[in-house]
């Protein structure tokens, strides 16, 4: 039991124990987390996922050869795994997008991904509005790791197109795959180029929140450093390299040396793992729910009431409609329709008042002119 300093027992209410209770409840309930990985094939996505969660999720994978990929369209694959650590169970769902960026003509190849994300939102919306809300399965995508090629000179047209299509529907964390292709200076230059391009194209990636003001300086500095290293330049490996005298490390052995995955001087793997898994898992879920899902819901419901009412979306960040918006299906929600109609009435009344005021102003102006000319 927690005891507040200075309070005597009889003044102690006990709600300071609330976090403990929440903690116990959530441990019992377990965590759901859905992570999507996207990017061209051959950027080390599967290896990184296996490295992050120390599992082999891709055991049975068959990579098709080029002639097969010529005719393949993008598919969405889901893999689930339950990971337990320290008594806490995490039900991790991995969403993979094989075939992305493979074909000669990749126009609109991101549409199935966008549709998938929206389908999860739609499902949740339906569940939320349904009768039995006790056991809602949250299959919404909480985070999308987008892999950028280290061989290019920044974001490619396909990268930009994909990011613009999904950045307001899912938390995007850009990652540079196979970062051992780059020398340190090249990494810095590439990261800066990507950051500049993201700003230029107005792509909103997931913003790691500032740490609380009461944290110590060291922690704050670390946090700033981690945020500054976005996009993370990562190297993945599940193989342990045992070099003669040194301790065994996870890494990739080359003839000229060994890249250590968990060495912060070699790559940003540790940073990514810390930010994604250790500190921001919950925040990612919250942002998905509070911001992205709510945006989807608002758009969806408004388009239901009146197709033209789309443009009146109030949230500033989420009011921009992406060009690849897919027509939303009709949902049977009678009482929300009523609410929307009421709100529309209000808006109409306000518009009328505004027009009246404008007319009055014009009249008074005209009168003023008349009196001047006289």
Residues that bind another protein (CB under 8 A): 40-43, 63-67, 69-70, 102-107, 149-153, 156-158, 161, 178, 180-181, 183-186, 189, 252-260, 263, 265-266
- Beta carbon of residue 62, minimum distance to another protein (angstroms, whole number): 11
The pair of structure tokens assigned to 348 is: 């109409």
Q: Is the peptide bond before 231 cis (omega within 30 degrees of 0)?
A: yes
Can you list the alpha helix ranges (DSSP code H) found in 109-167? 111-129, 157-166
Give the residue with the Cβ less far from another protein, 153 or 306.
153
Give the residue with the Cβ less far from another protein, 42 or 112.
42
The pair of structure tokens assigned to 334 is: 């009678």
CA separation for the pair 154, 148 (Å, rounded): 8
Give the residue with the Cβ less far from another protein, 13 or 66.
66
- Beta carbon of residue 77, minimum distance to another protein (angstroms, whole number): 16
- Beta carbon of residue 69, minimum distance to another protein (angstroms, whole number): 5
Strand pairing report for 88-96 and 143-148? unpaired
The pair of structure tokens assigned to 82 is: 């339950």
Give the residue with the Cβ less far from another protein, 188 or 360.
188
Give the residue with the Cβ less far from another protein, 33 or 147.
147
The pair of structure tokens assigned to 128 is: 């939320």
- Beta carbon of residue 133, minimum distance to another protein (angstroms, whole number): 42
| Residues with Cβ within 8 Å of residue 20, at least 6 apart in sequence | 2
Give the residue with the Cβ less far from another protein, 80 or 257.
257
- Beta carbon of residue 180, minimum distance to another protein (angstroms, whole number): 6
- Beta carbon of residue 108, minimum distance to another protein (angstroms, whole number): 9
Give the residue with the Cβ less far from another protein, 168 or 260.
260
* CA end-to-end distance (rounded Å), the chain: 86
- Beta carbon of residue 35, minimum distance to another protein (angstroms, whole number): 22
Contact 125, 295 (CB under 8 A): no
Contact 91, 30 (CB under 8 A): yes
Closest alpha carbon to 24 in 70, 84, 88, 77? 88
Please report where in the chains the tokens 């250790």 appear, as a residue: 278
Contact 144, 36 (CB under 8 A): yes
- Beta carbon of residue 327, minimum distance to another protein (angstroms, whole number): 23
Closest alpha carbon to 142 in 98, 109, 173? 173
CA 187 to chain centre: 24
- Beta carbon of residue 156, minimum distance to another protein (angstroms, whole number): 6
Contact 300, 328 (CB under 8 A): yes
Give the residue with the Cβ less far from another protein, 101 or 295.
101
- Beta carbon of residue 245, minimum distance to another protein (angstroms, whole number): 16
CA separation for the pair 370, 116 (Å, rounded): 64
CA separation for the pair 102, 66 (Å, rounded): 9
Give the residue with the Cβ less far from another protein, 77 or 337.
77
CA 12 to chain centre: 41
Give the residue with the Cβ less far from another protein, 69 or 310.
69
């Amino acid at each position: 039991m927690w005891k507040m300093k200075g309070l005597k027992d009889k003044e102690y209410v006990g709600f300071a124990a609330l976090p403990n209770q929440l903690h116990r409840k959530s441990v019992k309930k377990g965590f759901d987390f859905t992570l999507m990985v996207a990017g061209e094939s051959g950027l080390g996505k599967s290896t990184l996922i296996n490295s992050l969660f120390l599992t082999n999720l891709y055991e049975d994978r068959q990579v098709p050869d080029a002639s097969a990929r010529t005719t393949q369209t993008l598919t969405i694959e889901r893999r689930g795994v339950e990971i337990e650590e320290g008594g806490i169970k995490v039900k991790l769902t991995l969403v993979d997008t094989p075939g992305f960026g493979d074909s000669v003509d990749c126009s609109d190849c991101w549409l199935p991904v966008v549709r998938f994300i929206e389908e999860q939102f739609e499902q949740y919306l339906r569940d939320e509005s349904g009768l039995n809300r006790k056991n809602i399965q949250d299959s919404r995508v909480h985070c999308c790791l987008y892999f950028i090629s280290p061989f290019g000179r920044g974001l490619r047209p396909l990268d930009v197109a994909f990011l613009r299509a999904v950045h307001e529907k899912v938390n995007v964390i850009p990652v540079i795959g196979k970062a051992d292709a780059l020398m340190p200076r090249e990494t810095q230059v590439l990261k800066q180029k990507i950051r500049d391009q993201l700003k230029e194209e107005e792509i909103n990636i997931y913003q790691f929140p500032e740490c609380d003001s009461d944290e110590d300086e060291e922690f704050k500095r670390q946090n700033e450093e981690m945020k500054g290293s976005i996009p993370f330049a990562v190297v993945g490996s599940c193989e342990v390299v045992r070099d003669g005298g040194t301790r065994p490390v996870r890494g990739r052995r080359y003839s000229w040396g060994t890249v250590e995955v968990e060495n912060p001087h070699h790559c940003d793997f540790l940073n990514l793992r810390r930010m994604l898994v250790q500190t921001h898992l919950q925040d990612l879920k919250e942002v998905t729910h509070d911001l992205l899902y709510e945006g989807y819901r608002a758009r969806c419901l408004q388009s239901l009431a009146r197709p033209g009412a789309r443009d009146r979306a109030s949230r500033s960040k989420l009011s921009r409609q992406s060009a690849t918006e897919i027509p939303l299906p009709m949902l049977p929600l009678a009482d929300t329709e009523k609410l929307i109609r009421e709100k529309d009435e209000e808006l109409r009344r306000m518009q009328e008042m505004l027009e009246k005021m404008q007319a009055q102003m014009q009249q008074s102006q005209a009168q003023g002119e008349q009196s001047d000319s006289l």
